[in-house]
Structure formats: C-alpha cells, structure tokens
Structure 1
Amino acid sequence: MTSWSPDPAGLHRPAYVSLADQFARAIGEGLLPAGARLPPQRKLADRLDLSVQTVSRAYEDLIRRGLVVGEVGRGSFVLPAGAENSPPYLARRPGELIDLSILKPVTDRMHLDRFRDGMRWLADNLAAPSALSFRPNSVLPAHQAVASAWLRRAGIEAAPDHIVITDGVTQAMTTAVMTAVPPGGTLAAAALTHHLLMPLSRYLGLHLEGLPIDGQGILPAPLDQLARRGSLRALYMQPSAINPTATVTGAERRAEIAAIARRHDLLIVENDMLNAMIVDRPPPMAVLAPERTLHINGFTKTTMPGLRLAYLAAPAHLAARVANRHLVTNWMATPAMVELLSHWIGDGTVDDLIGWQRAALADRHRIAAQVLGGTGYRWHPQSLHIWLELPPDRDEDGFVAQARQAGVAIASGRAFRLSERDRRNAVRIALGSTGPEDLRRGLVLVAETLARDPEPLLPMV
C-alpha cells in the first residue's frame, strides 16, 4: 500500500472521473508505482465521503485506461507502464537469435508443398461467389454445413446458421467477447491467460478479473464467489493445453464450472484452439453447457500458419448477435481460404495435417525432456510450448533479457499474467517456431542461463 491518497478538495462532478484522473496523474508521476495496491473501495469511499459505487466506477475507468488491473479477493493494482505494448513474442525477425518466443505449429517443406497444391486446386475449382460476391450469405452457407459436421465430431451440436467462420482465432475471440460482455461489464479469466485478452478488454471497456488456478485450471470456488457479487457476465476459458501452463482441465472440473455458469447465468467463451489435436480431450464446454457457450475452434495452430481460419459456434439465442458483431468488425472470412479449408476437411487433408503435427510435437517434447528434464517444467504431449517456472530469485524479465543476450528469445510470463495472486516467475518456450537442431541449441542456452547466477545486465556505454 502506498502513502499517496486522493485529495477530496480536487474532486468535482462527475466525481468518478475526477477521482480516476487523480489516480492517473499519480501513476504518471510515479507516486503510485507499478504493483502498488489501490485502497479498498469501501475505505476510500468513507475517507472521501463518496459512495462505494462512485469509487467502483473510478476503478473501472482506470482499468479501461489500462492503468490498473483488478484481482479477485486481493484488490486493484497499478500496471507497469506500457504493459499493453509488450507482446510475448518478437515482433520482428530476430536475426541471429534462435526464436523460441512465438507460438507456431511445427512446419517443414511438406506444408509448403501442400499449400501450393491447395492453391492449384483453388485455381481450378474456386466457386464464382467466393471470387465475386460481397454477401456472406451467398458465399458461406455450404461451408457452414461443413463446419457443423466438423464440430459434431467433438460432440458439439451447432446448426450451420449458428456458426460464424472467421479469419482466425483472434477475430473469433474478439467477436465472442463483444457478444458476451457489454461495455462496462465484467469478464473473468484464468490468472494466466491469452496475452491479447487484456488489451482487448481495455479497448472494449470491460472490467477483467483474474481467477486463481491450479493444475486443473480455473478454481471453481473463486469463480462462484465472484459471480455472487452480481456484476460478472461471462467467463473466458482455454481449457485444452493452449493456455500458458499447457493445462488440460479435466471433465469433472469442467462440469463444476458449467454448473456455476448455469447457476449464475454466465456466458462462457471457450477457446478450443487445439481441438482435435488433443488426444482423449474431455468434452468441450460447448457440450456440457451448449445453451451458454461461445465455442472457438481454430485451425492455424493445428495445421499450418497460412490456414488462418476458425469456427465460432453460438447458442441459438446468441447467433444473430454473433453474426452482427462479426459483420461490423470483419464482415466475413476470406472466401477463397474458406473454400480451401472445406475442401481439405472433405478430402482428409486437415486430419492428415493434425496427425502429422501431433507426431512432430512428440519429437519436440522428447528434445525438451532431454535438455530440460530436470527443471520440472509444465507441458502436455500435444502442447506447442512448455511453461518453465523459475527459481524464487530469478526475475522473469531479467531472465528473458539474459537468455536473449545468450542467443535465444523466449517469452516472459508477465505477458500472460492477469493476477499477481500466488505469482511464480516463469517463461513460455515455444517448441514449433524453429527446426529441431535450433530448438535443441536454444533449449541448451536456456538451461545454461538458468544455471548461471542471476546477475543483472549492465547497460552498454
């Protein structure tokens, strides 16, 4: 807790805006440093002779400005400056660095050959509406039927006209979150979550709450506690190995969460990006709670990077809202690529690519085990990454900087952290972003960095 406090004399109508402005100035001037805990809302309300609702609105405004994060059961904390401009991966080609920072599927020459073959098939078979029409309804219905059949393989019953096809998971996630939570509403997610969910929530004016997790994912009791407050509208989940810790939430835990969502009338945004690649995965949330789940089923991470498409399936009562929000943000998925995806699902290419990816990841995980086997990292046999927790004396950003100086790029856990509760410094290491030999060399460099003393890097002069 900091000694700085807002000045009651500086408040004016609307009080919540002027209160938020005082906090913003204090943060900008360094009076409230990163990590500082804001006063409890009721105590501050009493001190300033304001209503709790006014203070709550001020805190929500700070969250929307990207200055503060709220944490269930702990309070509100100042975010580091420029946090939203720090993606976990390298935005540019890393030059001589071995890049294990960006999450990609494993690829080789076969994928390029398949894609070129697919382009030749498109040249001979592209339907006229896909090339000439502006109207989604004249282009996509047949492909929505393919999507419905694909989802049915996982037990998800979605009518074709309840499915929106998007240019990848990011567009689907944006559409789903916009549908599930109105501006000013509250969205909950795991304490470690998708790195884009935090800036997305700020841009949409949402209050994002981090929930405690364990080896099964989101803990049900804190979710129930948060929902009882009455402001929570939806829960964002990544229950199948694509989350930062590579966790697969078990069937019983999923059923508990579905029951809580039903009891409190919460919507669920389920990012099932790896879908069919996960062997023996539990039933999706869209099977356990179909009446309230917006299900995202992607292909980029399971087949190849160029196939940037995803299916977003909605319950009947939300289908029109989903379609409208996708129209105003993206209009429609690229028709030619949708044609190719449907063709590849029909002729078995997608299944072949998923099977190939599963086997390739098994090889990558064997390399990781050989190099880092004694470090106790988290992983799943079909995850595209590992999650390496660091010793208590190792700062994750400092470790990333040291590893990069040694010649390997990895991702800091800070980019995925929504809550500081039970924080463990960690890094994410992608397994598919480079060839097997570079992966081995990069992991050796990580292991060597881990073995060195955590001496801070000195500035170059």
Structure 2
Amino acid sequence: MPRARYKSLVDRLAAQIAAGKLPPGTRLPTHRQLAAQEGLALVTASRVYAELEAMGLVSGETGRGTFVREISLPLSHGVDQHATAPGVLDLNFNYPTLPGQAELLRTGLRQLALSGDLEALLRYQPHAGRGHERACIARHLAERGLTVQAEEVVIVSGAQQGLAVTVMALLKPGDVVAVDALTYSGFKVLAEACRLELLPIPLTCNGPDLDALERLCQKRRVKAVYTMPTLHNPMGWVMDVSCRARLIAIARQRDVLLIEDAAYAFLVEDAPPPLKALAPELTVYVSGFSKNVATGLRVGYVVAPLDRIAAIERAIRATAWNTPGVMTALVCGWIEDGTVLRLEAEKRHDAQARQTLGRQLLNGLNVVSHPASYFMWLPLPEDARADEVVSELLSRNVAVSPAEPFATTSAAPHAIRLALGSLDREALAGALREVASTIGRYVY
C-alpha cells in the first residue's frame, strides 16, 4: 500500500473518531475485515490500528477486538494530572488529612523556631541526612517491627524519590524488573524514565503468582522484584508469612534484589514482618511520611544493606543533593514527641470508617479492598468499559482512575480504582453514590 494511502486511512479513521462518527466504545472491524474492506495486506491493516492505538484513539483487547477509546479524557486519566476543576470530587489521589493538622504545623514550626541551631537547617545537609535524624527514623522503624542501624537509613525527599534513587543506584537501563500485573502507577512512570523492562507477574486472589515468578526467573535474568507486601496499591493485599518466605527463597536462589514499597504499611495492624526484616541482605525498604502525616512534607527514607548505601548517596547527590533540612527536622520532632504514631493510629481508624462507608454504598458491586486501606478496586461488569465509566463519572463531577495506569500487561482489565482519603466523608459519600449509580446501570 503506498504510504500516502496508508496515512490517509489513519487520518480518515482519526477524523471520524474526533467528529464522533465513531463514538467511544465502537467495536471496529477485525484486522482481517479491515484489510478486506480497504484492499490492504493484513500486516498493513495491523499497522493502521497500531498507529491509532499509539495516538490514544483505540485500544485492542485480546479476545474482544479493537474499540474506540473515550478521547475526552486526558491520556493520563487524571492520575498524572490532578483533578482540580471546581466542583470535581477527586477519587484519583490519596492525600489523607485529619482535622487539626494545619494547627499542628503551626505549633511544630513555632517549636522549631525556638530550638537548636536554625542556621544549620539553611545549609546543605549530608547527602544521606544528618546522623541524629537517621537514628531518629531508625527508632521509629523499630517501633513498627523493623530493627535497623542508623547507618542503613538514607533520608530522601519523599518515597517516590526513594524509589527513584534506588533504581538509579542499583539498576541500569535494560535491566529486567518483575512487578505485579497491577502495580503502583508511579513505579511504572519511573521504570519508563529509567528504561527498565517490566515483566508482569500474574495475579491470584491473594497476591502475586509466585509459581509464575519462578518461571519468569528461569526464562529471563530478573535483576529485581518491586513489591508491596503490606497493603498493596491498588489491590489491598497483605502478603502472608508463607508467601513472603517463598518470595525470599526465589530471590535468594536467583540473586534478585527486592524493592519493598511500604508507603501504606502503617495502616495494617499486626502485619507480618517486612521483607527487610526477613531478608535484610537483599531488600531495599522504601517509605515516607506523605500518607501517615502529610503529602506536602516530601520527607521519606530508604533502608538498604550497608554495601548499597554509598551508591544510593551518589544518586541523591546527582538529583536533590539532600532532603530539605527544615522539613526533616519538623518530621523528626514529631517522631520524638509521639505525634507520628498518634496520626498513624487516627488514620487507621479513619481509613476503616471510609472502607465501611464504601462497602455500604457500593453494596452489590464487586469490590476488592483491605478493611483498613484508603482505596478500593472495582472490577467492572462484563458489558462495562472502563473509559466509558470514567468519562460518565467525570461528566457527573467525579474523577476516578481506570486500571490502565496500574496495569503492566499489554491489555488492562476493565476496572476502576477509588481513592477514599482525599474528600471529607460527606463529599465522599456523594461521590460513592454516583459511582454506585453509574456502574449499577450495567449490573441490572
């Protein structure tokens, strides 16, 4: 097929989609049917659909066909661009706060102003953080069941930077990282930026399929596994002790680095020991104070084997140089006076109440979640398409995320994730009623 004709077909279909002549959800002809209709070679018809998919106009689904996407949504589906339009109820992001936290900040800043050597906070800090602050975070972790040396703790500008410097320091472009088939969207973005190859681990009802992981390790040189064993985002799993032991056994046998993301682990009471406690020599543990205290602090930490610390420090120097001194001092003050532990307990209670509300208002729908998490996963009914549901909810001023930003497989399941931690409970109830009403049309 001449190039001009091939391009003209792509342009014609794109124009029909943009004009609404091919509305969202339309099933397009199969590759063979398109080839026959247009007099094309099959490989050229496949190329036409591939280009439309790259433009974000269609999506191919194994066993179902090729469908027109909802193009009124940004390609990020709101996950990368915050839903800030007036009146929009945002169920995309979690930034849980409690009444009185603004006053807590005022008090903390006043206390900081009256204490110690403030001038020191205005200077560059050591790349890994000041020694007494690293020791403070180590004591905080000990209260949560993870005993580490202060020298193993590196302070970073939030857990996301913790993941970034871990990847920059310990992996290289082209390395293979095994991840759950549904995983934290921020790690997908990081992997793309660092040119890592992600291999999806199939899911079971209770966590990753570790038999499948073992087969992946036999076929490919897997350098690392990124995992959230305690309160998985978005599925809400807590990996049991036997699964943790199996994962560690595979990692030891195959010399695989474990990257343990514990951003939401504080919400789970009496959780099994972290991977870092069970396999300290091959685990890097990453968390922070965004969810348990406040997202604006941008203070986090990485706990790594001592022989990995120097490389992580170099990555910090190459990016942020050091974590902000004022914010780190503020957080450490709150650790020492018990504020962080109090906030964690209150947010566990808050998350449980929101889950209860969600279960009540979404009664009858298929909901996957943990009873103390700030999010819910909703697989959609068979006839429902995620982009249509997301678009309809947005028209009702409710912003939710489809599965696509979390999926590491070529085809994302038709599901949505609800973040419960950003609205007050009255507004949350209204948003959840809209979700129940919208999805309910496909159930009954």
TM norm structure 2: 0.82
User: Could you say if the C-alpha distance between residues 323 and 294 of structure 1 is closer, same or farther in structure 2, counting changes exceeding 3 Å?
Assistant: same
User: Following the alignment from structure 2 to structure 1, what is the Cα–Cα distance between the partners of residues 75 and 385?
Assistant: 19
Question: Which residue, 81, 84, 91 being the options, matches 2:82?
Answer: 91
- Conserved 8 A contact 2:375-2:420: yes
- Other-structure match for 2:67: none
* 2:425 aligned partner: 436
Measure the CA separation in 1 of the matches of 2:327 and 2:302: 16
Task: Give 1:123's aligned residue.
Answer: 113
Task: Give ranges in structure 2 of 5+ residues lacking alignment.
Answer: 1-29, 35-45, 63-69
Unaligned runs of 5+ in 1: 5-22, 38-79, 455-461
- Alignment correspondent of 1:111: 101
Contact 2:128 2:155 in 1 (8 A): no
Structure 2 residue 379 is matched with structure 1 residue 389: yes
Contact 1:126 1:339 in 2 (8 A): no
CA shift digits 1:77-107 (9 cap, x unpaired): xxx99997445265241311221121222x2
Does the C-alpha gap of structure 1 residues 375 and 31 become closer, same or farther in structure 2, counting only changes over 3 Å?
closer
Amino acid at match of 1:437: E
Q: Which residue of the partner structure matches residue 357 of structure 2?
A: 367
Per the TM alignment, residue 26 of structure 1 is displaced from its structure 2 partner at its CA by 8.8
Deviates more, 1:155-164 or 1:196-205: 155-164
* Native 8 Å contact 2:236 2:375 kept in 1: yes
Residue 219 (structure 2) pairs with residue 229 (structure 1):
yes
Deviation at 1:408, TM superposition (A): 1.3
* Equivalent residue number for residue 47 of structure 1: none
Post-superposition shift, 1:371?
A: 0.6
1-side partners of 2:216 and 2:74: how far apart?
A: 25
Deviates more, 1:295-304 or 1:89-98: 89-98
Q: 1:193 aligns with which of 178, 183, 202?
A: 183
Secondary structure of 1:136's aligned partner? coil
Matching residue's letter, 1:110? G
Q: Does 1:447 align with 2:441?
A: no
Given the alignment of the two structures, is residue 333 of structure 1 paired with residue 320 of structure 2, yes or no? Answer: no
Distance of 1:181 and 1:226 partners within structure 2: 18
| Aligned residue runs from structure 1 range 247-262, under 5 A | 247-262=237-252
In 2 relative to 1, CA 233–382 (structure 1 residues): closer, same or farther, beyond 3 Å? same
Percent identity, please: 28
Shift of 1:452: 2.1
Structure 1 residue identity aligned to 2:441: R
CA distance in 2 between partners of 1:126 and 1:387 (Å): 47
Distance 1:372 1:157, change over 3 A: same
- Whole-Å separation in 2 of the counterparts to 1:117 and 1:420: 49
1:134-171, CA deviations, whole angstroms, 9 ceiling, x for partnerless residues?
Answer: 24169611100111112223333322122111111110
Question: 2: distance between equivalents of 1:149 and 1:406?
Answer: 47
1:31 CA displacement: 9.9
Paired letter, 1:441 = G
Residue in structure 2 matched with residue 240 of structure 1 by the alignment: 230
Q: CA RMSD in A?
A: 2.8
| 1:374-405 deviations in Å (ceiling 9; x for gaps) | 21301112211111111011111110111111
Distance in 1 between residues matched to 2:437 and 2:74, nearest whole Å: 28
Distance 1:30 1:427, change over 3 A: closer
Could you say if the C-alpha distance between residues 138 and 364 of structure 1 is closer, same or farther in structure 2, counting changes exceeding 3 Å? Answer: closer
- Whole-angstrom distance in 2 between the partners of 1:324 and 1:235: 22
Q: How many angstroms apart in 2 are the aligned matches of 1:326 and 1:84?
A: 31
Q: CA deviation at 1:265?
A: 0.2
Structure 2 CA distance for aligned equivalents of residues 127 and 390 of structure 1: 56
